[in-house]
């Protein structure tokens, strides 16, 4: 038996904030944002929409896609750095909204690598046959911790949610290998100021990401006993197109084989990877039996990668 993804879903708020809109808020330009980051626009949740609301939309879509009912869920894992409140967890709020009364629930805090940490946690419970169906969600309302007067960060982030229902799949499919890692010594480069906004040393995070994304991708490919030529589709964390391109080039993957939601959604932290996975699967970019590599990095510093047979 394998452990894999039974269904995916994602949600983005309808309000679009373009680079041109940002030109009216901070001293920046559409040209700077496009060329330095690859972002053209991002979605912003209205005041009355919280992280759990976006998580709910994405989860309902993933459950429908998987053909799994909320009451069949054994565990809900929500990766987020922007919970509705510090406690209770978003996963508990989501459990109630879904009516998933049989599910245990907890949040996962690993910043932009959070969804990878969630997927791998889910894999352990399913593999050991403790649980059958686990909902893994990445959901963020980053706009509420964004300093809209700081041009170094406010142009980068957007709101959204992505979800995957995980369970048993046939032998040879699902998660073939994984890598998770952390380096707390790099915490100073990216953090939320006490109850406040995001602080980021962009250059340091950039250097770390350009090194880590290709390395982790190559590690999981090797652990699965495969070669980089075997990769059919790459889903990197959507933080900066230049970081993503560096990973793609190292793997020698053609441009059309890499998910690129960054252009229209920006960086959605833990939601970026599941949003890109869901959108790519629904657009038919991932086909049956494809080898998909998912790779993320984030504050902590944290990182995680998975080689997945679809």
Q: How far is the CB of 114 from ligand ACO (least distance, A)?
A: 9
Contact 56, 97 (CB under 8 A): yes
What is the rounded end-to-end Cα distance, in angstroms, of the chain? 14
Q: 112: which residues sit within 8 A by CB, 6+ positions away?
A: 237, 239, 267, 269, 270, 272, 296, 297, 298, 299, 302
Binding site residues, ligand ACO, CB under 6 A: 28, 32-33, 36-37, 111-112, 151-152, 155, 190, 200, 202-203, 205-206, 209, 239-240, 243, 267, 269, 298-299
Pick from 141, 135, 142: nearest CA to 163: 135
Q: Is 102 an active-site residue?
A: no
Catalytic residue among 10, 133, 189, 237: 237
Q: How far is the CB of 162 from ligand ACO (least distance, A)?
A: 15
Closer by beta carbon to ligand ACO, 28 or else 102: 28
Q: How far is the CB of 74 from ligand ACO (least distance, A)?
A: 29
- Residues linked to residue 298 through DSSP beta bridges, in sequence order: 302
Closer by beta carbon to ligand ACO, 218 or else 299: 299
Compute the distance between CA of residue 17 and CA of residue 23 in angstroms, rounded to an integer.
11
Contact 215, 252 (CB under 8 A): no
Q: How far is the CB of 128 from ligand ACO (least distance, A)?
A: 30
Q: Which residue number places its CB atom closest to ligand ACO?
A: 202
The position carrying tokens 């993957």 is 253
214 token code pair: 């290709």
Q: How far is the CB of 160 from ligand ACO (least distance, A)?
A: 13
The position carrying tokens 């933080």 is 239
Closer by beta carbon to ligand ACO, 36 or else 97: 36
Catalytic residue among 50, 65, 112, 189: 112
The C-alpha angle with vertex 138 and arms to 233 and 288, in degrees rounded to 5, equals 30
Q: Is 267 an active-site residue?
A: yes
Q: Is 189 an active-site residue?
A: no
Coil, strand or helix at 247: helix
Closer by beta carbon to ligand ACO, 36 or else 132: 36
Closer by beta carbon to ligand ACO, 152 or else 177: 152
Catalytic residue among 19, 65, 267, 268: 267
User: Active-site residues: which are they?
Assistant: 112, 237, 267
């Amino acid at each position: 038996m394998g452990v894999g993804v039974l269904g995916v879903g994602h949600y983005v708020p309808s309000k679009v904030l373009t680079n041109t809109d940002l030109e009216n808020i901070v001293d920046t330009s559409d040209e700077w944002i496009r060329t330095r980051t690859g972002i053209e626009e991002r979605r912003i949740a209205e005041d009355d929409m919280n992280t759990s609301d976006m998580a709910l939309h994405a989860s309902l879509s993933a459950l429908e896609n998987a053909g799994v009912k909320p009451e069949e869920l054994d565990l809900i894992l929500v990766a987020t750095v922007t919970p509705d409140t510090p406690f209770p967890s978003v996963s508990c709020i989501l459990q109630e909204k879904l009516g998933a009364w049989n599910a245990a629930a907890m949040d996962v805090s690993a910043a932009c690598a959070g969804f990878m940490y969630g997927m791998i946690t889910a894999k352990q419970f399913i593999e050991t046959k403790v649980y059958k169906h686990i909902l893994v969600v990445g959901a963020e309302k980053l706009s509420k911790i964004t300093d809209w007067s700081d041009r170094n960060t406010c142009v980068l982030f957007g709101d959204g949610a992505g979800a995957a229902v995980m369970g048993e799949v046939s032998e040879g499919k699902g998660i073939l290998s994984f890598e998770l890692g952390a380096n707390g010594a790099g915490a100073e480069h990216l953090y939320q100021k006490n109850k406040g906004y995001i602080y980021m040393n962009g250059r340091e995070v950039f250097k770390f990401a350009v090194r880590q994304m290709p390395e982790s991708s190559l590690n999981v490919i090797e652990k699965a006993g495969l070669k980089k030529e075997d990769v059919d589709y790459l889903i990197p964390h959507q933080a900066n197109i230049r970081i993503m391109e560096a990973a793609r080039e190292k793997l020698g993957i053609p441009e059309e084989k890499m998910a690129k939601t960054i252009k229209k959604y920006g960086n959605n932290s833990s939601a970026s990877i599941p949003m890109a996975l869901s959108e790519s699967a629904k657009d038919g970019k991932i086909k049956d039996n494809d080898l998909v590599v998912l790779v993320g990095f984030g504050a902590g510093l944290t990182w995680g990668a998975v080689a997945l047979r679809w």
